[in-house]
A and B are shown apart, each in its own frame.
Chain A
């Protein structure tokens, strides 16, 4: 692999019936990412189950229960590499009762693959998956119109799905949507170009994933550096060293920059940006570095170093699109711990503005109970201000989770409006 090869994370949403597992199996198989002992194990299982040939879908089987029930329950991560890129697939179940897993998989993705069965066109599940991709602000959506072999590789069938999709997707906030006609089962337009669809001029799926431009997906404008921990070696070579360790959330930090520490408001200049190998002139997202400042000021975990001329808003009242992740429903006016970057405060859900009917995507204002998989718009009040950006502008400083202190479980994930 070349030195400048990038990492691309994508999700696949869909059910077994859409051919999701077959598609992943095909990507892994045709890109030669499957090992012989894995193949042998799958061949044995295929035989035991009475399948003809190798069932590619079995590559994505995980836990015992999933194998027994033939479904994906949890997010499973798969890896493959081509000469151009390394890929991480977040393989998520498509069924409505696993919305929370889709949201989880989508949270770190650069791209989403949405599978549509060419015979059935856009169905409610397609809309749900697209909505989640848009809600989580996945920058690139690839709609794979699958099972083209079952509609005689017809361009008309393909165009029909595109029209259906575009009809509702105009309401979504996605900038880059592409369509690819494929047959995961036969391998058409997955890794190799299809011999059956001369009318399709675009690239196959893998080539699309390998070449899509992702470096501008990260916010390069707003310099945000949440402090994870303070490094104080107190050894002979670094007696007075006081470094703020963290990962640049967005933007670019440079030595000499005028900075402000939030929420205290103290100002200083960046003195050095250090790594084990060298001191750098600048650091950008998502680099992990240690930053030292010209002045000795009190900074600890949860604080954020930002450029003085571009600060996030310190807010105690935030509006959030919230996905409820836990079996236990939300308790009205209960206190939760809220985590935002490396900061933790207490918070209360003050109001449920509306819930989204995940089947129709309509807003519902009558029912305000938050149960597992619900997506809703809520108003949250925190005990101390959080230094937030809107999720649309910044996926790292615009996201929060809620933790129930009684169980320590993560119960909700939110995107700041």
Chain B
């Protein structure tokens, strides 16, 4: 006798596919926000399933800070080729060159906040009415309140206290000209779910997630990779460590952890024993208690 219920990963997958198809049905010009991180890779993988045997019917969009891991860019270009979809790139460097934003100064300067302007400019320029992201509610407390279909006003801003209620599986993506939505198909997944699913589906992810030898410096409780953008303090020293990354952001702010996990199996095991949240190694979230909420209100991912 066959069973007539889904296990939790199948149910999460089915939910995400449903959301992706709703986006396609309710919007004229959606894109997947693709950072090269595991969550956006997962969303892309789910989109492939949602529209099979057709190919993904919308482009991927990358907000390029210029401070990338080289591995990420190669991975991005390979996946675009494989899927046969269009890539849109919003460049933070261009935003700086055009005087739209100014580079942050100081020791921990990053281009993280600058992405907001580039992202919103790219959304406006390409007339995008829904940007699909890999945000998950378990990542951060402001994200715990995020809807699957999240409305942004014509300044791209999020108003967390005035969100549309979402009941059952009925999603309201109605919007006026100039407004857009963010859609989060993997809202209900946890970091552990993501790894278990990547392992189960054997999804290709950048080598950065696997333990490897790398030049790093110890800063803010994690191993920051050496790169052309790194400015060393007097007391800091570059060392070689076997590390891997739990999340991938800008090379300047993404801290690695020491690890020997060099297979998906070992990573899943390691994550299940982790006692720190994955964003614990992201210095962009450490700035204040509401750092994420403040950025999200302005239009961040």
Contact = CB atoms under 8 A, between A and B. Distances in A.
Interface of A: 1, 3-7, 35-38, 41, 61-65, 67, 73-79, 81, 85-86, 88, 100-101, 103-104, 107-108, 214-215, 218, 220, 228-229, 231-235, 237-238, 241, 243, 245-247, 252, 274-276, 282, 284, 286-288, 290, 301, 325, 337, 339-342, 395-396, 399-401, 403, 408-410, 413
Contacts of B12: 7
Interface string B175-207: 110000000000110101100100000000000
Given A36-B275, A62-B141, A63-B142, A100 B188 contact: no
Given A76-B145, A229-B25, A86 B293 contact: no
B1 interface: no
Contacts, number: 181
A238 B53 CA distance: 7
Contacts of B290: 64
Q: Secondary structure of the B side of the interface?
A: loop
Given A88-B188, A408-B174, A276 B4 contact: no
A220 B6 CA distance: 13
Interface in B1-34: 2-8, 10-15, 17-18, 21-22, 24-25
A403 B138 contact: no
Contact of A7 (B11, B25, B192, B289): B11
Interface range on chain B (Cβ under 8 Å from partner)? 35 or more
Contacts of B137: 77, 79
A228 B21 contact: yes
Q: Secondary structure of the A side of the interface?
A: mixed
Interface of B: 2-8, 10-15, 17-18, 21-22, 24-25, 48-55, 137-138, 141-142, 144-145, 160-161, 163-170, 172, 174-176, 187-188, 190, 192-193, 196, 274-277, 280, 289-290, 293
B4 A284 contact: yes
Contacts of B144: 62, 76-78
A247 B10 CA distance: 12
A276 B8 contact: no
A401 B161 CA distance: 20
B53 A231 contact: yes
A276 B170 contact: no
B174 to A, nearest CB: 4
B25 A228 contact: yes
